[in-house]
A and B are shown apart, each in its own frame.
Chain A
Amino acid sequence: MTAKKTDARLSAKDKKRLASMNPEEIAELKELIEFLKENGIGEFDLERGDLKVRLKFAGAGPQVDPSHLSQLAQFAAAQHAAALQPAVVAHVHPVGAPAHPAAAASSAPETATAAAPIDDEAGLHIVKSPIVGTFYESPSPGSPAFVKPGDMVEVGQVLCIVEAMKLMNEIESDAAGEIVKRFVTSGQPVEYGQKLFAVRPR
């Protein structure tokens, strides 16, 4: 299987179900998928009220290290606190062998599947957008960009602004190092969790 974006294999029914989720839930789901991918966890069930999510990952993931399970519990707890929502029940089924993607895709309407990502950003820190909005590289039209590839940045240094509804969100770097890539162009709309910059940590 070649790597595809998570959304690529959602059925129309899945998309409809996803559309009924609130933005926080979608955002958390995306973050959860990233977390599971990064840690090579093959299968994951989550129940929150009437929301049930089952994730199975295709592709040859590494054998799951049991220490990831405690991280996952911490992740679920952190999500719980951040979203001020009750009842996150996480059932974790680590599997060493890859699940069959077709079986996963047909198992339930709530199912989403994701292939293992191509890791061309190994060792890089990715700065992502905390809100939906419009990406701006500079504080005002015509002024110089906050940063450009090749610049060295410190933790807390403003990298860009994402604006929505006249809410200007200064995005700070949460890593010190060199800006090696900017993923978006000024004036472009960005989604929650979309990659903005890659930083090579110092």
Chain B
Amino acid sequence: MNFISAPIAGAFELETLNRELAGTPFAGRVRHFPTIDSTNTQAMREAEQAQESGTVYLADEQTGGRGRSAHEWHSAAGSGLYVSILLRPKIAPADVLWLSLAAGLAVQDAVRDITSLAPDIRWPNDLLLSGRKMGGILTELNAEVTRVRHAVIGIGLNVHQPSFPPELASLATSLKIETGQDWSRQDLLVALLHHLNQEVERLTAVHNLDVATADVRDRLSAGSTWIQGKQVTVTDTDTFSGVTDGLDARGFLRVRTPHGIRVVLSGGVREGAR
């Protein structure tokens, strides 16, 4: 190597990490990679090989980090928190959507605990500060019609980036940019995993699914400016504009358009009219 790498700010201490995760299914199951193609890809690969539920894949750098529709996720070494969590929840495949939504709430709570900032949630689960993206979640599921084999929740948070390239600067931000401070990725991770564990426990508790999903819906509606009354443009199977009108019983975003209510299954939601 001709270049000397800069030391990674706040490197992970796995022993401390595992101790701080005591009482969760993640304790003792954190696997750290200095560099990896994608923590989600690794987790999905190992899930096929019967890796345990609760295994956490943590990387300092991703060379092939992914977002929705194969969008690349900018994952420079040591600058962000890149983590994927392997779960085998005993719920119906359709209900994993609730886990994906609840993961956004867990990130929001973790960032609030550690930094006192309150990120907005852009449905379904992007984390925004000052209207720019500081975190994203990509969930991958392998399921039969009635049974989940495994689910991987992948979370990327921008932590230490002092700036972004010009083409991303208006879209992306980091905790460093927002506060001028470096926040510990490990502290963020511990808080995140504890919150995520609570969400998983609620959504997988026997007999309580309806209560738990209503609770996720209520908290999302309260904790996001995007769920109700926001003028948005949606790119789903087509592109349309309207005003958001709450979540339906399945957690999908309703948008009031001149042609009636549209329910967004999977589209990108952006602010403003077309």
A interface, CB within 8 angstroms of B: 22-24, 27, 31, 78, 82-86, 128-134, 139-141, 163-170, 172, 174, 187-189, 192-193
- The one of B67, B142, B207, B252 in contact with A84, judged by C-beta atoms closer than 8 angstroms, is B207
Q: When chains A and B are docked, how far (Å) is the Cα of A134 from the Cα of B100?
A: 16
**Taking the nearest CB of chain B, how far is it from the CB of A60, in angstroms?**
29
Q: When chains A and B are docked, how far (Å) is the Cα of A130 from the Cα of B145?
A: 4
- The one of A132, A141, A172, A187 in contact with B70, judged by C-beta atoms closer than 8 angstroms, is A141
In the complex, the chain B residue whose C-beta lies closest to that of A140 is B70
Which B residues are CB-close (under 8 A) to A23? Answer: 94, 249-250
**In the bound complex, do residue B141 and residue A166 qualify as a contact, i.e. CB atoms below 8 Å apart?**
no
Residues 81-104 of B, flagged 1 when their CB comes within 8 A of A and 0 if not, give: 000000000111111110011000
Contacting A at CB under 8 A, from B92-150, are: 92-97, 100-101, 124-125, 137-147
Interface assignment of B45: CB less than 8 Å from any CB of chain A = no
Q: Which 7 A-B pairs have the closest CB atoms?
A: A140-B70, A130-B93, A165-B124, A167-B139, A169-B141, A134-B266, A130-B145
Interface assignment of B2: CB less than 8 Å from any CB of chain A = no
In the complex, the chain B residue whose C-beta lies closest to that of A142 is B70
Q: When chains A and B are docked, how far (Å) is the Cα of A31 from the Cα of B147?
A: 14
Contacting A at CB under 8 A, from B137-168, are: 137-147
Interface assignment of B179: CB less than 8 Å from any CB of chain A = no
- The one of B69, B143, B237 in contact with A188, judged by C-beta atoms closer than 8 angstroms, is B237
**In the bound complex, do residue A132 and residue B145 qualify as a contact, i.e. CB atoms below 8 Å apart?**
no
Q: List 30 A-B contacts (CB under 8 A).
A: A22-B210, A23-B94, A31-B146, A82-B92, A83-B92, A84-B91, A85-B209, A128-B145, A130-B93, A131-B94, A131-B97, A131-B143, A132-B252, A134-B236, A134-B265, A134-B266, A164-B97, A165-B101, A165-B139, A165-B251, A165-B266, A166-B124, A166-B137, A167-B97, A167-B139, A167-B141, A170-B142, A172-B142, A189-B237, A193-B145
Contacting A at CB under 8 A, from B231-268, are: 236-237, 249-252, 265-266
Interface assignment of B206: CB less than 8 Å from any CB of chain A = yes
Interface assignment of B68: CB less than 8 Å from any CB of chain A = yes
Which B residues are CB-close (under 8 A) to A187? Answer: 237
Q: When chains A and B are docked, how far (Å) is the Cα of A187 from the Cα of B266?
A: 10
Which B residues are CB-close (under 8 A) to A165? Answer: 97, 100-101, 124-125, 139, 251-252, 265-266
Which B residues are CB-close (under 8 A) to A132? Answer: 94, 250, 252, 265
Q: When chains A and B are docked, how far (Å) is the Cα of A22 from the Cα of B251?
A: 11
* Known contacts A86-B207, A134-B237; A164/B70 CB under 8 A: no
Q: When chains A and B are docked, how far (Å) is the Cα of A24 from the Cα of B107?
A: 27
Q: When chains A and B are docked, how far (Å) is the Cα of A23 from the Cα of B96?
A: 13
Q: When chains A and B are docked, how far (Å) is the Cα of A163 from the Cα of B237?
A: 12
- The one of A163, A172, A174 in contact with B266, judged by C-beta atoms closer than 8 angstroms, is A163
**In the bound complex, do residue A133 and residue B92 qualify as a contact, i.e. CB atoms below 8 Å apart?**
no
Q: When chains A and B are docked, how far (Å) is the Cα of A23 from the Cα of B69?
A: 26
**In the bound complex, do residue A189 and residue B265 qualify as a contact, i.e. CB atoms below 8 Å apart?**
yes
Which B residues are CB-close (under 8 A) to A129? Answer: 145
**In the bound complex, do residue B100 and residue A167 qualify as a contact, i.e. CB atoms below 8 Å apart?**
yes
Which B residues are CB-close (under 8 A) to A163? Answer: 68, 265-266
In the complex, the chain A residue whose C-beta lies closest to that of B90 is A84
* Known contacts A84-B209, A189-B237; A167/B96 CB under 8 A: yes
In the complex, the chain A residue whose C-beta lies closest to that of B213 is A22
**In the bound complex, do residue B139 and residue A168 qualify as a contact, i.e. CB atoms below 8 Å apart?**
yes
Which B residues are CB-close (under 8 A) to A27? Answer: 92, 94
* Known contacts A141-B69, A165-B97, A189-B265; A82/B147 CB under 8 A: yes
Which B residues are CB-close (under 8 A) to A85? Answer: 207, 209
